[in-house]
């Protein structure tokens, strides 16, 4: 994979061969490091996509390596306003938000981290939108800032190997990287456990919320729906993507496969309803929604999908959620 | 004789409707009022009309508001129940037709389909971000043709050979319609073509994947349009029922919900509210990075309610602002923070790497 990269303003064009090591790159970088005074290297992590796919992994990993990870703030109305100014109109909402999150950390950090997520489960694929993210960042929003990138491709090598390579890329001792990987994996595991349940109290009804991890955990997209459900006293379980063994199915998309598997093994005793959260122009979801609907219908569990776009009013969400819960009460 | 009655108010995007029923569910009278974009004023005018029409011996024992402006209206009149419009419309349809299996409802900005089986909602769907399959589509096309919406309805009924018009988007429909006008199509055929386009759009967008089974009840403001009813019959190949209070079904349903929710003492602020000077005041919450716009509803100087906010901590509360402010956002959005967020980080002064992690040549 060859791409052209411009390093700082004066250095000119440099060809990055995918996993090229940073130590080879820039004399300017070296020169700058000599003038350095004070604390450790700051690395910026946009709070989108891979941040939610690997929760707590990156902060812990970079933190253990002695860097200072800096994460953008949860998405808000302001993030969306920013996104609409700087991002491509044809992108899906999470991708727009990603751009805004990236813009938020750029200028506050020495280096931003944007991995190329190609596959998160072996023999499965991620959304093709993840592929060009590092290049797009270099070309546009993070222009002039170092973009640290690595290919995350489970078909080629497992995540631990990828992280090891990342450590090597940053010129860090192997033993230190290994211990960082260990604690990062522990942190991810515990974060994954925390991410599943919203309301701890045992009550009825109990809902399952499904969707891409970066959709159901985003403050702007899912926040109003989650707080609405919470204020109505509903117990909500968010679908977990932690379990790493994919079930055999014909679906190649990693998130869609997990949702499919979850809905396929759903029991009407466990859940009183399923809410699917999707964003307006998600191609993967538009392919899968009818399949999901049919799966859940066969199990005789009520199903509703909520489509969120950047200008969806809160009242529209409230109406749908209230009516959905009303309809469950009428069923008895 | 029982002199109690129940009030249902439906504040929609285009119209504000009121219905008063007796405890037995009989409609005493109905008001349909096209609003001028000021929901508070519309509600007050409805209440004023109500004062004129309602004999003094009747007393209102319960109020329920519905529609997209339900929270604001609820604060203004003092509602006992605030209900979403899908449930309200379904309640009304079931009251009149217990066997109903599909409710099609097209309003000014919203269109919905509700699927019922054995008197319970099993599925529903609402139009998404676009208002193409709703009444506002017809409104704008009628304006374009320079006729009123009532004329559009009556002309469409005269059509024998409806023109085919692209209805996916109002913009496309408009250019297609102009093209058809230039070709010399008759206006009655074009109007019927518009009705067909709206119904086609509604069926493919809103009713996508739903089992539309008779008996079908068609209600909402657009159901008054004969052309649309005809287009529905043609498209679905079956008879559709237009209920007697088709324009005000939401308010009727709300009134029924009020009458059946066992209200002991109503919070209704009285018909005099119509003469009060009610204003709204906005402020930015600022308790979290969302910076929600909160609207306070004030009757003279008395705070009677609040709307807005994504977390719901302000909704309907009348405590002083200071008591609620600074308590942080309500609800728990996923937060697991192990490092600094960008907000706490000072701007970067010098780019660099510490010696420890210097990217050396070795």
In a mutagenesis test of the B interface, which of A71, A319, A324, A329 is the best target, namely the one with the most B β-carbons within 10 Å? Answer: A319
**Residue B122 burial (CB < 10 Å; 0-12/13-18/19+)?**
middle
B290: nearest Cα among A191, A108, A46, A227: A227
B140 min Cα distance to partner chain A (Å): 22
Kindly list the residues from chain B whose CB atom is less than 8 angstroms away from the CB atom of residue A108. 342, 345-348
Report the DSSP pairing between strands B4-11 and B15-21.
Answer: antiparallel
Kindly list the residues from chain A whose CB atom is less than 8 angstroms away from the CB atom of residue B66. none
- How many angstroms separate the CA atoms of A271 and A93, rounded? 29
Kindly list the residues from chain A whose CB atom is less than 8 angstroms away from the CB atom of residue B354. 36, 38-41, 66
Question: What would the mean pLDDT of B110-117 be, rounded to a whole number?
Answer: 89
CB contact under 8 A, A41 and B357: yes
- The reply to whether B98-242 shares the fold of B4-94+250-274 is yes
**Lowest mean pLDDT segment, chosen from B109-113, B118-122, B319-323:** B319-323
Kindly list the residues from chain A whose CB atom is less than 8 angstroms away from the CB atom of residue B335. 74
- How many angstroms separate the CA atoms of A320 and A323, rounded? 5
The per-residue DSSP string of B178-192 comes to HHHHHHT--HHHHHH
Q: Which residue reads 């776009």 in tokens?
A: A309
* pLDDT value of residue A29: 47
User: Hey, is the C-beta of A91 within 8 angstroms of any chain B C-beta?
Assistant: no
**Residue B84 burial (CB < 10 Å; 0-12/13-18/19+)?**
buried
Q: Is the pLDDT of residue A254 over 60?
A: yes
3-state DSSP assignment of residue A264: helix
Q: State both tokens at A290.
A: 């009818």
User: Hey, is the C-beta of A217 within 8 angstroms of any chain B C-beta?
Assistant: yes
Closest partner CB to A230 (pick from B120, B331, B343): B331
- How many angstroms separate the CA atoms of A65 and A72, rounded? 20
- Enumerate the domain spans of chain B: 4-94+250-274, 98-242, 277-324
User: Hey, is the C-beta of A316 within 8 angstroms of any chain B C-beta?
Assistant: yes
* pLDDT value of residue A197: 66
Which domains are assigned to chain A? 3-194 (3.40.50.11890), 206-331 (3.40.50.11900)
Kindly list the residues from chain B whose CB atom is less than 8 angstroms away from the CB atom of residue A39. 354
Chain segment A274-329, per-residue pLDDT in tens: 999 998 888 888 889 888 988 898 888 888 888 888 766 677 788 888 888 888 87
* pLDDT value of residue B21: 92
CB contact under 8 A, A331 and B122: yes
Nearest CA in chain A to B289: A76
The average confidence (pLDDT) of chain A is: 80
Kindly list the residues from chain A whose CB atom is less than 8 angstroms away from the CB atom of residue B292. 77
Cα angle value B274/B256/B242 (rounded, 5°): 100
B352 against A270, higher pLDDT: A270
Helices (H), ranges, A75-156: 77-86, 93-105, 133-136
3-state DSSP assignment of residue A146: strand
* pLDDT value of residue B214: 86
Kindly list the residues from chain A whose CB atom is less than 8 angstroms away from the CB atom of residue B361. 23
CB contact under 8 A, A223 and B331: yes
Chain segment A15-44, per-residue pLDDT in tens: 343 434 444 333 344 444 443 434 577 888
User: Hey, is the C-beta of A319 within 8 angstroms of any chain B C-beta?
Assistant: yes
A106 min Cα distance to partner chain B (Å): 10
User: Hey, is the C-beta of A291 within 8 angstroms of any chain B C-beta?
Assistant: no
Q: pLDDT class for A5, splitting at 50, 70, 90?
A: very low
Q: Which residue reads 């909160």 in tokens?
A: B294
What is the Cα B81 distance to its own chain's centre? 16
**Residue B161 burial (CB < 10 Å; 0-12/13-18/19+)?**
exposed
Question: What would the mean pLDDT of A140-155 be, rounded to a whole number?
Answer: 86
Closest partner CB to B121 (pick from A40, A73, A326): A326
B128 against A48, higher pLDDT: A48
A316 phi-psi bin (left φ>0, alpha ψ -120 to 50, beta other): alpha
Chain segment A86-113, per-residue pLDDT in tens: 888 888 899 999 999 999 888 888 889 9
CB contact under 8 A, B340 and A69: yes
Chain segment B31-40, per-residue pLDDT in tens: 888 877 788 8
Q: State both tokens at A318.
A: 């409230």
A107 min Cα distance to partner chain B (Å): 6
User: Hey, is the C-beta of A294 within 8 angstroms of any chain B C-beta?
Assistant: no
* pLDDT value of residue A34: 45
Kindly list the residues from chain B whose CB atom is less than 8 angstroms away from the CB atom of residue A318. 84
**Lowest mean pLDDT segment, chosen from A9-13, A142-146, A259-263:** A9-13
- The number of residues making up chain A comes to 332
CB contact under 8 A, B124 and A323: yes
- Strands, sheet with B278-284, edge to edge from the N-terminal-most edge strand: B278-284, B293-299, B302-307
A45 min Cα distance to partner chain B (Å): 9
Question: What would the mean pLDDT of A152-159 be, rounded to a whole number?
Answer: 90
Kindly list the residues from chain A whose CB atom is less than 8 angstroms away from the CB atom of residue B123. 302-303, 327
Domain B4-94+250-274: which CATH number of 3.30.420.40, 3.20.80.10, 3.60.110.10, 3.40.1410.10: 3.30.420.40
A323 min Cα distance to partner chain B (Å): 6
Contact A5, A137 (CB under 8 A): no
Contact A67, B357 (CB under 8 A): yes
Q: Which residue reads 């990269």 in tokens?
A: A5
Report the DSSP pairing between strands A116-119 and B59-66.
Answer: unpaired
Q: pLDDT class for B65, splitting at 50, 70, 90?
A: very high
* pLDDT value of residue A245: 67
User: Hey, is the C-beta of A28 within 8 angstroms of any chain B C-beta?
Assistant: no
The per-residue DSSP string of A10-28 comes to TTEEEEE-SS--GGGT-HH
CB contact under 8 A, A72 and B289: no
CB contact under 8 A, A33 and B345: no
Kindly list the residues from chain B whose CB atom is less than 8 angstroms away from the CB atom of residue A320. 86, 124, 126
ipTM of the complex: 0.74
Question: What would the mean pLDDT of A79-87 be, rounded to a whole number?
Answer: 88
A4 against A67, higher pLDDT: A67
Nearest CA in chain A to B356: A40
Q: Is the pLDDT of residue A1 over 70?
A: no
Contact A80, A223 (CB under 8 A): no
Chain segment B266-313, per-residue pLDDT in tens: 888 887 888 888 888 888 877 776 677 888 888 887 888 888 776 677
Kindly list the residues from chain B whose CB atom is less than 8 angstroms away from the CB atom of residue A187. 338
- How many angstroms separate the CA atoms of A223 and A298, rounded? 29
Measured from the Cβ of residue B325, the count of other Cβ atoms closer than 10 Å reads: 16
Question: What would the mean pLDDT of A202-216 be, rounded to a whole number?
Answer: 83
Domain B98-242 falls in which CATH fold?
Nucleotidyltransferase; domain 5 (3.30.420)
């Amino acid at each position: 994979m060859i791409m052209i990269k411009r390093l700082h303003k004066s250095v000119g064009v440099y060809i990055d061969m995918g996993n090229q090591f940073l130590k080879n790159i820039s004399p300017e970088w070296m020169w700058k490091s000599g003038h350095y005074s004070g604390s450790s290297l700051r690395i910026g992590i946009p709070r989108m996509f891979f941040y939610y796919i690997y929760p707590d992994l990156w902060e812990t990993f970079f933190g253990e390596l002695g860097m200072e990870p800096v994460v953008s703030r949860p998405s808000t109305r302001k993030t969306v306003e920013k996104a609409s100014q700087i991002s491509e109109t044809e992108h899906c909402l999470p991708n727009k938000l990603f751009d805004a999150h990236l813009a938020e950390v750029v200028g506050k950090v020495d280096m931003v981290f944007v991995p190329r997520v190609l596959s998160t489960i072996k023999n499965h694929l991620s959304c093709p939108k993840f592929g060009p993210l590092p290049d797009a960042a270099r070309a546009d929003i993070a222009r002039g800032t170092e973009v640290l990138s690595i290919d995350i491709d489970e078909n080629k090598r497992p995540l631990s190997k990828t992280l090891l390579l990342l450590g090597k890329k940053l010129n860090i001792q192997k033993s230190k990287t290994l211990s960082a990987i260990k604690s990062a994996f522990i942190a991810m595991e515990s974060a994954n456990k925390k991410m599943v349940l919203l309301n701890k109290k045992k009550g009825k009804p109990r809902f399952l919320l499904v969707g891409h991890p970066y959709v159901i955990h985003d403050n702007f997209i899912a926040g109003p729906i989650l707080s609405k459900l919470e204020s109505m006293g509903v117990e909500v379980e968010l679908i977990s993507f932690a379990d790493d063994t994919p079930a055999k199915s014909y679906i190649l998309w990693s998130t869609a496969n997990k949702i499919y598997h979850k809905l396929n093994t759903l029991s009407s005793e466990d859940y009183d309803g399923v809410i699917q959260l999707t964003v307006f122009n998600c191609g993967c979801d538009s392919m899968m929604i009818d399949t999901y609907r049919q799966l859940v219908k066969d199990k005789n569990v009520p199903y509703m999908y909520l489509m969120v776009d950047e200008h969806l009013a809160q009242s529209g969400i409230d109406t749908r959620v209230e009516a959905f819960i009303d309809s469950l009460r009428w069923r008895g | 004789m029982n002199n109690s009655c129940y009030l249902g108010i439906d504040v929609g995007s285009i119209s504000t409707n009121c219905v008063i029923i007796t405890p037995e569910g009989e409609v005493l009278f109905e008001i349909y009022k096209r609003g001028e974009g000021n929901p508070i004023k519309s509600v007050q005018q409805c209440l004023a009309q109500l004062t004129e029409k309602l004999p003094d011996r009747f007393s209102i024992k319960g109020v329920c508001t519905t529609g997209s402006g339900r929270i604001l209206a609820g604060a203004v009149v003092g509602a006992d129940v605030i209900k979403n419009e899908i449930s309200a419309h379904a309640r009304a349809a079931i009251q009149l037709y217990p066997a109903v299996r599909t409710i099609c409802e097209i309003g000014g900005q919203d269109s919905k389909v509700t699927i019922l089986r054995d008197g319970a909602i099993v599925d529903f769907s609402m139009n998404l971000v676009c208002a193409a399959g709703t009444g506002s589509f017809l409104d704008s096309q009628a304006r374009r043709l320079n006729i009123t919406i009532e004329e559009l309805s009556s002309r469409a009924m005269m059509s024998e050979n409806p023109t085919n018009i692209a209805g996916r988007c109002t913009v496309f429909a408009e250019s297609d319609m102009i093209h058809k006008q230039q070709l010399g199509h008759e206006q009655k055929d074009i109007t019927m073509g518009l009705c067909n386009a709206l119904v086609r759009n509604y069926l493919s967008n809103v009713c996508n994947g739903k089992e539309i089974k008779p008996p079908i009840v068609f209600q909402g403001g657009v159901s008054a349009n004969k052309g649309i009813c005809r287009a529905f019959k043609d498209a679905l190949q079956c008879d559709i029922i237009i209920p007697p209070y088709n324009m005000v079904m939401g308010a009727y349903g709300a009134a029924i919900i009020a009458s059946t929710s066992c209200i002991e003492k109503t919070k209704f602020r009285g018909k005099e509210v119509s003469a009060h000077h009610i204003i709204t005041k906005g402020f930015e919450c600022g308790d979290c990075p969302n910076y929600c716009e909160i609207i306070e509803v004030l009757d003279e100087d008395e705070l009677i309610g609040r709307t807005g906010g994504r977390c719901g901590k302000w909704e309907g509360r009348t405590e002083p602002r200071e008591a609620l402010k600074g308590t942080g956002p309500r609800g728990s959005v996923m937060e697991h923070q192990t490092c600094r967020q960008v907000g706490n980080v000072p701007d970067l002064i010098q780019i660099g790497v510490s010696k420890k992690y210097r990217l050396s040549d070795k």
